Structures are given as C-alpha cells and as structure tokens.
C-alpha cells in the first residue's frame, strides 16, 4: 500500500536554515530513513543525511523526528497517520554542518578525556581472572552504539550550551560507571566523575534512558549507581569513616 | 515552504539553536506533536493534592486515633500528648504542636530526595525539563552541584530513618489485630488497610536506589560476596518498579490516614472480619 506523505525537512547550515515541505511516496513497511532517501533521490539531490547500516547498529542516522530524538532507520512510518506531517530536523544539541548532518565532535573530545582502563596486577600465574557475575553489570553499557541521542536529548547541554565545558553527558557518565564497576579496573573514578565530568549536573530526569535505541538503562543502572558511589566518597561521613578504620576494604 | 527561522537569525533562547554555537536555527521550543504536557500536569496535580491533604492532616492534630488503629501520619507517636498508646511516649511537647510534626520530616525527606520523585518534580514543577526534547524556561542551570540541591545526596540517611518508621508501621498493623478492649484475635478492614500500607511503604523503601547501592551495588566483585549479590539481585528486581511503589505507597498512606480519620470522626464504622 502506497500513499503520499507530507514531510518537513530542515534544510540549511550553520549560517541559517528553515523547514521545507515535500510530498513523498511511502510504501508499506518503510522507515523514515527510506523516505528521506527517496526524497534525496527524486526531489532534493543535495540533501545531506548521514547513514550507514540501516539496522540500528551503527548510530549514524540520528535526527529528530517530530521533535523526538530518534534513529531514522528505526522509526517506522506505520507509527504515523497517513495524513500526519512528519518533521525531520538535525540533532539540536550539536552544531549543524548541513541539513540533517551535525558535527558530533563534542562527544569525541569528551571521550578522549575519560581515563582509559587501568588493569589490576595479574595473578601469580600471569593471568587476569574475573567472574561473569562481576562483569555483567558493565556489559549492559557496552551495547552503546554511540548514536549520541542521549547526549542530544539531555537538557543540561541541549538547553545550556555553556554547560558543554563542564558536563560530559550521559554517554560518558555511563562509560565512567562501566569502568568504575569493572572488577579489573584499578582506578578510582569517583572524584573525576563529580569534578571533571559534571555528574552533579545530572538531575536524573531520565530522558537519556527514554531515547536510547539499545534500551540501556542509563539512569537506573549507570548514572544513579555512579552518584551513589560519589556519595560514598564525598558526602557520607559513615562510609568515609569506615574506609579510614578499615571496615570497608576494597570494592 | 514553512519557515521557522530566517537564515542567520538563530536565537539565544535555550535549546532553540544559537547563532554562536552553530546549531540549526529552529525557533520553536519543541517540535513534538504529542501531548507531552499531560504527564507532568498529572504528576503536578497528584503531588499537590497529596501535599495539601497531608499538610492539613498533619496540622489538624485530631482524629488520628481510633482504637486500635493509628494513622500512619502520626506514627510513631512520640509525645505524651498522643491519643492512644501504640508507641512509647518519649517526651511532652507543647499542646499546639501536632505529634505528626515530630516525625513527618523523615517520610517527607525520603520522598523529597528520592531519585524517582526528583525526576517527577524537576519535570512537573521546575520544568527542568518539562518533557524530553522540550526546552526548559531557565537561562542558567547548575543541577545538583550547589546549595540547596547538593543536599539531595543525603538520601540514604532518610532511607535509614524510613526503614525504622516502616518497622513501627508494621508494629501498628500487628497491634491492629487487637480489639477496642485490647484483646487479641480481632481483625477489621482497618487492620487490612494498615497492613497493606505497611507492606507498600516497606516495598517503596526497599526498592530505593540507595538501598540497592548499600546492599551490594557498591561492590565490584559480586563473586566474593554471594549473599550481598543475592540481596542486590532481589533489590534490583524491586528497583525496576520503584516508580510504581512510589505512587502506590503515597496513595496508600493517604488512604490509610483517611480511613482512620473517618473512623475517629464517627463518619464510618469499621468492617469487622472476626
């Protein structure tokens, strides 16, 4: 079944732009990215759009569909009424390069600031050992495809450009949590999480969790546990005292 | 063609694209087409209704005890001015101070600093943000890095206090198996109401994120602490429903209080099971 859909697509670059309206045929079973490709092939040959796998695994086609941060390849056209106008804009948190393509280098700069994994000394036989039960918590965060939708939707940087200096964003807070929970990582990252990566800026309103296409529970399993670990170190006198008198040895 | 902003006219408003930052110039606060305002509105109405009712009842200083039931808003009742004798009376306070005032800071504290309620009221009242991808109205934002919001980090201490109160509320529910004369073997609808309320409040406390951290979340080597790992697994399952427990327990404590209120005011009579 084919119908003509009305699409509004943001066209422009850093110097300005606007929403332009198109009428595009839509076939049954298609996703927004299919329609954007058809638009590019038939009406707007210079439309810039970043994409790669079309399977929700590369994280390239991040955009905002009807105002909601989404992967275009995972947004089915069947979720819209046939007479509904579909608005597609670039991610609003990052500088636009052209049309739907944004410059996400902010994220790469933050990634480079996260201290790398520091392995504990090897066992006497020269091996590293860890139990599955110890590492499986961190594995949830390894599902991240770095689409940066969580970074895009996080109001701390979305609504306050100036906070980009002091706040790393949810993607890198769960990277810190992943490393801090890792049984073989020797570095204590709690102080850095609060002081250098701006953990205290997060007010846990969970938008990052809502938009994650991988279904990672960023807030409940990553950011809040990291906040609690920071409380252990900075705000809880009993835990601090316990660590000083030897009641709380290594984690 | 639909124009949302002329070229080069990026505004400085939060989240709407800024000329300096190079963001796409989109003037609309949000392009969401769903009714994103419904959820924060419902949350705000429900929380305001609860706060108004709880404040009225806490200051009313009457109709909180109907033998053998005591309202959860007034338990543990620590003052000698309390009606009934469900809990050891520790001191004599001024008559004009309601006994509820002495203890309500703890349940109020755990809910104010609760990770779920923080999300709820930051969205509903402070509009920070009102909904995902909807720009907040504030010019500046410092999150929980400064006074007073840095005190959200005391949540675990309110959890400890709440767990003690949970035990007292169970004690009240056990005492509710007595009749008006103090003889055991009684059960009425009020007993059931207090018992269900105590269970729901306990589930809310147990499912708390701080509880999850304390029982085992702080560990990196679960394999070395199998018992704590079991606790953590159990609390993690509860934690997945923390929001539901937060709402259900909030309504249950208000309903339990209302039931005792109506009994004490002789508006209704208790339904006696045995």
pLDDT of B203 higher than 70: yes
pLDDT-based confidence at B90, cuts 50/70/90? Answer: confident
**Using the beta-carbon criterion (under 8 Å), do A200 and B145 form an inter-chain contact?**
yes
Would the CB atoms of A68 and B229 count as touching at under 8 Å? no
Residue B9: pLDDT over 60: no
Given pLDDT bands bounded at 50, 70 and 90, which one contains residue A248? Answer: low
For the cut 60, the answer to whether the pLDDT of residue B17 exceeds it is no
For residues B205 and B166, is the Cβ–Cβ distance under 8 A? yes
Predicted confidence at residue B85, as pLDDT, reads: 72
Domain ranges of chain B: 1-31, 38-264
C-alpha distance from residue A236 to each of A131, B151, B155, B239 (Å): 30, 11, 10, 22
Contact B31 A18 (CB under 8 A): no
- For residue B186, give how far its alpha carbon lies from the nearest alpha carbon of chain A (Å): 43
A111-A117-A121 Cα angle (round to 5): 170
- Bridge-partner residues for B66, per DSSP? B69
For residue range B148-176, list pLDDT tens digits in order: 999 999 999 999 999 999 999 999 999 99
Question: Going along chain A, which residue ranges are E strands?
Answer: 2-13, 16-27, 62-65, 68-71, 86-89, 96-98, 101-102
Mean of pLDDT values over B189-199: 97
Distance from CA of A54 to the nearest CA of B (A): 24
Q: In angstroms, rounded to a whole number, what is the distance separating the alpha carbons of residues B48 and A35?
A: 45
Q: Which residue has the higher pLDDT, A23 or B10?
A: A23
Q: Is B90 helix (H, G, I), strand (E, B) or coil?
A: coil
Q: Is the link from the previous residue into A214 a cis peptide, with omega within 30 of 0?
A: no
Chain B residues inside the 8 Å CB shell of A94: 23
Identify the three-state secondary structure at position A24. strand
Burial of A87 (0-12, 13-18, 19+ CB in 10 A): buried
Judging contacts by C-beta atoms under 8 Å, the chain B residues touching residue A106 are none
The pLDDT of residue B11 = 39
Give residue A239's pLDDT: 80
Q: What's the pLDDT tens digit per position in A156-201?
A: 999 999 999 999 999 999 999 999 999 999 999 999 999 999 999 9
- pLDDT-based confidence at residue B20 (cuts at 50, 70, 90): low
Task: Please tell me if residue A213 touches chain B, with a CB cutoff of 8 Å.
Answer: no
| Angle of CA points A200, A173, B224, to nearest 5° | 105
Query: For chain A, which domains are there?
Result: 2-102 (3.10.20.30), 105-244 (1.10.1060.10)
Q: Under an 8 A CB cutoff, do B144 and A251 touch?
A: no
Whether residue A159 and residue B141 make contact (CB cut-off 8 A), yes or no, is yes
C-alpha B173/C-alpha A78 separation (Å) is: 52
Q: Quick check: A95 and B21 CB within 8 A?
A: yes
Q: How far is CA A56 from CA A146, A170, B60, in A?
A: 11, 19, 57
Q: Specify the pLDDT at position B12.
A: 41
């Amino acid at each position: 079944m084919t119908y003509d859909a009305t699409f509004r697509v943001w066209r422009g670059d850093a110097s300005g732009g606007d929403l332009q309206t198109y009428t595009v045929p839509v076939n049954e079973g298609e996703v927004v990215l299919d329609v954007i490709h058809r638009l590019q092939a038939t009406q707007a040959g210079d439309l810039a759009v970043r994409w790669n796998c079309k399977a929700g695994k590369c994280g390239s086609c991040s955009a905002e569909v009807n105002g909601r941060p989404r992967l275009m390849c995972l947004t089915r056209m069947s979720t819209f009424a046939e007479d509904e106008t579909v608005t597609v804009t670039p991610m609003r948190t990052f500088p636009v390069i052209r049309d739907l393509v944004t410059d996400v280098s902010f994220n790469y700069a933050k990634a480079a600031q996260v201290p790398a994994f520091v392995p504990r000394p090897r066992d006497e036989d020269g091996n590293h050992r860890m139990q599955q039960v110890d590492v499986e918590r961190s594995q949830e965060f390894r599902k991240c495809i770095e689409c940066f939708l969580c970074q895009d939707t996080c109001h701390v940087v979305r609504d306050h450009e100036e906070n980009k200096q002091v706040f790393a964003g949810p993607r890198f807070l769960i990277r810190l949590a992943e490393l801090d929970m890792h049984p073989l990582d020797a570095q204590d990252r709690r102080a850095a999480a609060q002081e250098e990566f701006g953990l205290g800026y997060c007010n846990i309103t969970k938008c990052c969790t809502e938009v994650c296409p991988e279904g990672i529970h960023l807030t409940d399993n990553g950011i809040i546990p990291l906040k609690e670990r920071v409380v252990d170190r900075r705000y809880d006198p009993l835990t601090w005292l316990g660590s000083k008198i030897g009641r709380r040895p290594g984690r | 063609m639909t124009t949302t902003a002329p070229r080069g006219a990026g505004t400085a408003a939060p989240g709407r694209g800024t000329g300096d930052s190079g963001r796409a110039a989109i003037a609309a606060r949000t392009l969401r087409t769903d009714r994103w305002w419904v959820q924060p509105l419902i949350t705000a109405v429900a929380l305001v209704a609860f706060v108004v009712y709880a404040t009225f009842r806490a200051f009313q200083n009457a109709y909180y005890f109907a033998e053998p039931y005591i309202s959860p808003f007034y338990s543990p009742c620590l003052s000698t001015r309390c009606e009934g004798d469900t809990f050891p009376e520790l001191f004599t306070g001024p008559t004009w101070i309601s006994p509820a005032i002495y203890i309500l800071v703890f349940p109020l504290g755990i809910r104010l600093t609760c990770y779920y309620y923080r999300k709820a009221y930051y969205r509903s009242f402070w509009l920070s943000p009102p909904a995902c991808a909807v720009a907040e109205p504030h010019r500046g934002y410092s999150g929980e890095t400064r006074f007073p919001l840095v005190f959200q980090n005391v949540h675990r201490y309110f959890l400890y206090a709440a767990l003690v109160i949970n035990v007292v509320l169970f004690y009240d529910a056990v005492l509710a198996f007595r009749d008006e004369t103090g003889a055991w073997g009684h059960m009425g609808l009020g007993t059931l109401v207090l018992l269900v309320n105590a269970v729901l409040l306990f589930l809310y406390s147990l499912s708390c994120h701080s509880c999850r951290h304390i029982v085992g979340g702080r560990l990196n080597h679960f394999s070395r602490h199998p018992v704590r790992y079991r606790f953590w697994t159990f609390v993690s399952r509860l934690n997945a429903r923390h929001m539901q427990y937060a709402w259900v327990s909030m309504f249950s404590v208000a309903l339990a209080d209302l039931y005792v209120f109506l009994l004490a005011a002789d508006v209704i009579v208790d339904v006696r099971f045995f």
